[in-house]
Amino acid sequence: HTEIKRICCIGAGYVGGPTCSVIALKCPHIIVTIVDLNPARIAAWNSEDFALPIYEPGLEDVVRQTRGRNLFFSTEVDKAVQEADLIFVSVNTPTKTSGVGAGYAADLNYVESATRHIAQVATSSKIVVEKSTVPCRTASSMRTILESNSRPGCHFDILSNPEFLAEGTAIADLYNPDRVLIGALDTPEGAAACAALSSVYANWVPKERILNVGLWSSELSKLAANALLAQRISSINALSAICETTGADVREVAHAVGLDSRIGSKFLRASVGFGGSCFQKDILNLVYLSESLHLPEVAKYWRSVVDMNEWQKLRFAKTVVDNLFGTITNKRIAVLGFAFKADTGDTRESPAITLVKSFVAERAKVAVYDPQVSHDQIWMDMQSACSTPKQELSKQLTLHTDAQSTFAGASAIVVVTEWAEFASPNFDWEGAFAAMTKPAFVFDGRGIVNGARLREIGFKVVTIGRGENL
């Protein structure tokens, strides 16, 4: 098979950036160039003070070791494509907002234009790897586009190699993946391309964890993995509602059922709802696929995972209002955390957006603090969620650079993201209590605060999935 000497990655985002930085680290003999159309993003990757465009624990260290050695970030897409033996397509595939399949189907415009661009500029044969999460059959569309537009003498092999990293643990996940999945055509060329990509991963991933399957299976496995993970969260969240009304404790229930080795203990943390750029998008994608295949029952089944998640978010917002005597108008609500999970600055589909929007709709004064998310990002998210300009929104919404300053005169603290800071024994809950109006409430959407200690201070505490509330 071809020996891979140069890799190009199209898309310098949450997936392309960390994935290809780790490849560069683990394969010093391969030159890796990550390209993007967005010059600001590339400039951030190249910034002298390593102010990288995404926050991911351990990432800066990897980039410090590799950048300028065998890792390069560039906006010169054509050059990087021409020089590469293998190209990862790692562009965004958001849910379509208009046209056929709006609200469900993946927008494949970025994948298609990157693919067309490869065909247009490539002057030699390439292995093209679909890294983005895409609906089934996309690899075959990419192949058709490449074959119909290639220059004479240029041959393209297409592979599917979905990414399973989770944000916040991306580097650890990439160092030590449960598996690397490579989908290929069942042809000698497909097998050779698959062997070439496998040999890149084999620099640090044990061979038995590199799995070769068909293209379709590979594409569907990615959607299936995210659907099954999200389904576990919706299942435990559905149980959390039962716990709250019966006096059971969802942590105890999750622990008890998780000890059954057939169920397993991971991914059973009840929460204010799952967020992130993947789960909802990929399930809706699966729903759309099922509908297209005339399988309405299957579509409805997966749709319910997303419906349960929406309900959980709104249920939590309603719990806040109900406990605050039915109204939060003009009351200050301190929101701790805005990212969709801890250890990331990413806010895509964050449950915080839904919560803050509903507090704003109730005419509350909302004070938000997150240790990583930039204020610009929060303004952008909330302006678009509320369809209200910043100037208007700022009458109700204030953003803070520390937790304590959100508490002055607040009626309630709402914990939305499970940042270690909020769970730390050093967190100044006494100070918070002193600054707030009474009764002072804490609504814990992540089950991370020490309820007993907070009640001793005088707080009324409401935790997702716990009957012993208040």
Per-residue burial over 168-179, b if 16 or more Cβ lie within 10 Å, else e, is: bbbbebbeebee
Listed in sequence order, the DSSP H helices in 122-187 are 138-149, 170-175
Q: Is 241 helix (H, G, I), strand (E, B) or coil?
A: helix
In the bound complex, what is the minimum distance in angstroms from residue 393's beta carbon to ligand NAD?
A: 25
CA dihedral defined by 460, 307, 374, 58, rounded to 10 degrees?
Answer: 100
Beta carbon nearer to ligand NAD, 38 or 327: 38
Q: Cβ distance 191 to 223 under 8 Å?
A: no
Answer for the pair 162, 219: CB distance below 8 angstroms, yes or no: yes
Q: Which pair of tokens denotes residue 25?
A: 């680290």
Tell me whether residue 139 or residue 334 sits nearer to ligand NAD (CB atom).
Answer: 139
Give me the active site residues, please: 278
138 is known to lie in a ligand binding site: no
Q: How far apart are CA 404 and CA 431, in angstroms?
A: 8
Q: According to the annotation, is 98 in a ligand binding site?
A: no
Whether the CB-CB separation of 236 and 305 falls below 8 Å is answered with: no
Q: Which two tokens stand for residue 1?
A: 């098979």
CB-nearer residue toward ligand NAD: 41 or 332: 41
* Residue 115 interacting entry, from ligand NAD, ligand UDX, none, C-beta within 5 to 8 Å by type: none
Q: Quick one: what does residue 41 bind among ligand NAD, ligand UDX, none, with the CB cut-off 5 to 8 Å set by partner type? A: ligand NAD
Q: Judge whether 13 is annotated as a binding position.
A: yes
Q: Which residues bind ligand NAD (CB under 6 A)?
A: 10-16, 35-38, 41, 77, 90-93, 110, 113-114, 132-133, 163, 165, 167, 277-278
447 binds, among ligand UDX, ligand NAD, none (CB under 5 to 8 A by kind): none
Least Cβ distance, residue 392 to ligand UDX (angstroms): 29
Q: CB under 5 to 8 A by kind: which of ligand NAD, ligand UDX, none does 422 bind?
A: none
The residue with tokens 């939305």 is 416
Amino acid making up residue 458: G
Cβ proximity to ligand NAD, 274 vs 459, nearer residue: 274
Is 94 flagged in the annotation as binding? Answer: yes
229 binds, among ligand NAD, ligand UDX, none (CB under 5 to 8 A by kind): ligand UDX
93, interface contact from ligand NAD, ligand UDX, none, CB < 5-8 Å by kind? ligand NAD
Rounded to 10 deg, the angle between the 215-246 and 279-292 helix axes is 120
Q: Which of residues 248-287 bind ligand UDX (CB under 6 A)?
A: 267-269, 271, 274-276, 278-279
Q: Give whichever of 77 and 194 is closer to ligand NAD, judged by the CB atom.
A: 77
Q: CB under 8 Å to 401, separation ≥6 — which residues?
A: 369
Size of the chain in residues:
470
By CB under 6 A, residue 462 contacts ligand UDX: no
- Known binding residue 95? Answer is yes
Q: Find, among 16, 14, 21, 129, the residue nearest to 71 by Cα.
A: 21
14 is in an annotated binding site: yes
Inter-residue contact 128 to 89 (CB < 8 Å): yes
Q: Is 12 annotated as a binding residue?
A: yes
Ranges of beta strands (E only) in 97-214 are 126-130, 156-160, 180-184, 210-214
Q: Look up residue 403 and give its amino acid.
A: A
In which residue are the tokens 């298609």 written?
112
398 is in an annotated binding site: no
Q: Which is nearer to ligand UDX, 26 or 348 (CB)?
A: 348
401: annotated binding-site residue?
Answer: no
**Largest Cα span, the chain:** 76
Nearest approach, Cβ of residue 342 and ligand UDX (Å): 8
Closest to ligand UDX by CB, 88 or 274: 274
Yes or no: say if 67 and 53 are a contact pair by the CB < 8 Å rule. Answer: no
Place of tokens 């967020």: 275
Dihedral (CA of 382, 385, 389, 395) sign: negative
Over the window 216 to 245, marking each residue x when it contacts ligand UDX by CB under 6 A and - when it does not, the resulting string is: ----------x--x---x------------
In the region spanning residues 335 to 364, those forming contacts with ligand UDX, defined by CB under 6 A, are 340-341
Which residues between 148 and 207 bind ligand UDX (CB under 6 A)?
163-167
Show binding-site residues: 11-16, 36, 41, 91-95, 132-133, 167, 278-281, 348
* Binding site per annotation, positions for NAD(+): 11-16, 36, 41, 91-95, 132-133, 167, 278-281, 348
The binding site for ligand UDX (CB under 6 A) comprises 163-167, 226, 229, 233, 267-269, 271, 274-276, 278-279, 340-341
